[in-house]
Amino acid sequence: MAGVVLLVVLWELYKALGPATGVVIGDLTVLPRTTDLAMPHVWDMIGRLFEPSGSGRNAVPVWLAVVQASLFSLGVAAVGWVVGVFVGLLLAILMQRFRTAESAVLPWIILSQTVPLIAIAPLVKRWGSTIEIGTFTWENWMSVAVIASYLAFFPVSVGALRGLNSPDAIHVELFRSYGVGWWKTLFTLRLPASVPYLLPALRLAAANAVIGTVVAEVSIGLRGGIGRMIIEFAQQASGDPARTWAPIFGAIAIGLVAAGFIALLGVLLRRYRRGEVPA
Amino acid sequence: MKHSTRLLAMGAIAATAIALAGCSSGGSSSSSTDSATSGALTPVKLQLQWYSQAQFAGYYAALDQGYYKDEGLDVSILEGAADIVPIDTLTSGQADYAISWVPKVLGSIEQGAAVTDVAQIFERSGTTQISMKSAGITTPADLKGKTVGSWGYGNEWELFAGMQKAGVGVGDISLVSQAFDMNGFLAGDIQAAQAMTYNEYAQVLETVNPATGKLYQPSDLNVIDWNTAGTAMLQDAVWADSTRLADDPAYADTTVKFIKASIKGWAYARDNPEEAAKIVTASGSQLGESHQLWMTNEVNKLIWPSENGVGMINQNEWDQTVSIAKGTKNETGATIITSDPPATAFSNEYVTKALDELKAEGVDVNGTSFKPITVTLKEGGK
């Protein structure tokens, strides 16, 4: 909270004291301009939240429209996160079990993250729209969730693999000498030991899922989410610069909720977090 | 060890290839069953270039007023987005028709897309280059040595052609990539900014001029109109799949019906601009009320009056677009196309039928008496 207040104070202070043309070194602007167009007042941004967002049927206050859009995006991001975590864990377990799988799959996993998101988003949408199984039809929000999971699975698979391999050799050998099978070793030794590695990975995955959702929404134009709202408001940024910030606040809120959820998860799993260095 | 990795990698590639092949064949078969199962109405998907806004008022009006239904069509309108290329959606079979600018599509056609311009809805170009009066830029020749903004992505060709015609090389200006909004222009970073008459130009007029405390007025601005500069290119057109037009008589028939109902929608937008703007807003557009109405009115000006009837492709305008596409070099020295497009690139066959039917019904498809309304923009377009 203090951090937010500090940010607001800094913003307004710079706006009040900084030169209107920004700080320019040579031809390069190193600090932004302080005009209302470039840096609207914080109270204008908040004031805009209570104005109607559109006309006719869309005439709800901006804050409500932002909350609705944020909840929608959060839902899509959550689906993407769950799918991503599931796939990531599966891959990690597979890689832990079979050395060959690790050397075969790991490079692909890393390679997958070098593909630019804007390149795969329309492709996912196109492939998705050709899927039709019985009464099930592919919806556009599913494409967005797939893209979110595509970003989310990566930290989970890498973090979980590290965690699964983390038990001391002495413990693993103890299990082996008692003749404990691989599955039981996995559930009673490896998975609990991986929790300290898994939690930061899950947090990264949550952040990635939110970013993936917002970017994919922009990319394929999914209606209802915060990503599209950012673009729609940004298009009117010249006439009403303060309004542009409303959906950005929404996107920040989604990130905070997602991070809070992972913190909650960490509390639930605290008995497995022995030896974790507090972050 | 190394060997098995390579085998696995090859296996993965093979599996992906098979999966992809399966996807694409599945797609084509499912679309044919679609049309067979639904009853009286033929499902039609229309891909737009951008989000719902009055630029597409005619299609939304035709949908809202039931003109498509009257023709036996069940039209769903697919909105565009940042990374959606309408022609790709059309050629991949996810849409039956697409709205796109002609020069952008000419490039796709040269790269192998089999699409046909079946109705040229916008007869005039809405692209302009605007500047503050103080900059003194009134002709393309004045752009020399100035900071000139452009969105790129195929929106720059009229500008480059206009400059080339006036003897200004791409190297003579400093080209700036322009964002969605007009902030760069208003802050003075861009001296001559690209602006559509129906959108960005209005955005400037919706902004308070810090010097006067009132909104910017048209008298504060200089506008270079590519229609008068002689380098206008054809913009919003209805594109159809050439292969299906040739092989599928039902699709060809649907095309006529679709064009007919769409033109009827545009006639509605001409005669009822206020209602048309409301229809677009109700379809989910976030644009403000006065901005939406302004856009409807400006788009009407690009369509009406229409010399030969809306949608007719005039050979000389088409030729001008093609010759600019062939002869104009961008900042990398490339042109849109290197040779003339195939004969299938446009066809007046379907629009002629549609116009004949409309005239028989007494619909005014020329709008000779069209008079634009006067729209007063409010701050922020509200």
B203–A38 C-beta distance less than 8 A: no
Where in chain B are the domains?
A: 29-123+234-381, 127-229
First to last CA, chain B: 67
Q: Lowest-confidence range among A23-37, B126-140, B196-210, B283-297?
A: A23-37
Backbone conformation region of residue B151, classed left if phi is above 0, alpha if psi is from -120 to 50, else beta: alpha
Q: Across residues B40-52, what is the average pLDDT? A: 93
Helix orientation angle between A62-97 and A191-220, rounded to the nearest 10 degrees: 130
DSSP E strands in chain A: the ranges are: 23-25, 28-31, 132-133, 136-137
pLDDT in tens, B354-379: 999 999 999 999 999 999 999 999 88
Interior angle at CA B65, CA B60 and CA B70, nearest 5: 110
The pLDDT value given to residue B332? 84
CB-based contact (8 Å) between B162 and chain A? Answer: no
pLDDT in tens, B291-300: 999 999 999 9
B23–A37 C-beta distance less than 8 A: no
Contact list in B for residue A130 (CB cut-off 8 A) is: 23-24, 26-27, 30, 94
Closest C-alpha to B55, from A235, A226, A240, A140? A235
DSSP annotation of A56 reads G
A126–B82 C-beta distance less than 8 A: no
The pLDDT value given to residue A236? 77
Contact list in A for residue B207 (CB cut-off 8 A) is: 37, 238-239
Higher pLDDT, A59 or B333: B333
Structure tokens at A89: 């864990």
CA atoms within 13 A on the CB side of A256: 8
Among the partner-chain residues B30, B81, B291, the one whose CB lies closest to the CB of A221 is: B81
The pLDDT value given to residue A276? 55
CB-based contact (8 Å) between A273 and chain B? Answer: no
Question: d(Cα B65, Cα B71) in Å, to the nearest integer?
Answer: 12
Among the partner-chain residues B12, B84, B282, the one whose CB lies closest to the CB of A220 is: B84
Residue of A nearest to B27 (CA): A130
DSSP E strands in chain B: the ranges are: 42-47, 73-78, 97-100, 115-119, 127-132, 147-150, 174-177, 192-196, 221-225, 237-241
pLDDT in tens, A179-227: 888 889 898 899 888 988 999 999 999 999 999 999 999 888 888 889 9
Amino acid at B289: E
Assign domain B29-123+234-381 to its CATH superfamily: Periplasmic binding protein-like II (3.40.190.10)
Report the predicted TM-score, pTM, of the whole model to 2 decimal places.
Answer: 0.82
Among the partner-chain residues A35, A104, A122, the one whose CB lies closest to the CB of B9 is: A104
Among the partner-chain residues B5, B24, B206, the one whose CB lies closest to the CB of A239 is: B206
CB contact at 8 A, B214 and B208: yes
Task: Decide: residue B282, CB within 10 A, 0-12 exposed, 13-18 middle, 19+ buried.
Answer: middle
pLDDT in tens, B73-117: 999 999 998 888 999 999 988 899 999 999 999 999 999 999 999
Contact list in A for residue B20 (CB cut-off 8 A) is: 127
Q: Kindly indicate whether the ipTM for this predicted assembly is greater than 0.95, answering yes or no.
A: no
Q: How many CB atoms lie within 10 A of CB B36?
A: 6
Question: d(Cα A243, Cα B279) in Å, to the nearest integer?
Answer: 24
Question: d(Cα A137, Cα A128) in Å, to the nearest integer?
Answer: 9
Question: d(Cα B357, Cα B360) in Å, to the nearest integer?
Answer: 5
The two domains B29-123+234-381 and B127-229 share their CATH topology (first three levels equal): yes
Among the partner-chain residues A108, A220, A222, the one whose CB lies closest to the CB of B12 is: A108
pLDDT at A126 over 90: no
Structure tokens at B103: 């020069």
Fold for domain B127-229? Answer: D-Maltodextrin-Binding Protein; domain 2 (3.40.190)
Q: How many Cβ contacts (< 8 angstroms) between chains A and B? A: 126
Question: d(Cα B105, Cα B157) in Å, to the nearest integer?
Answer: 13
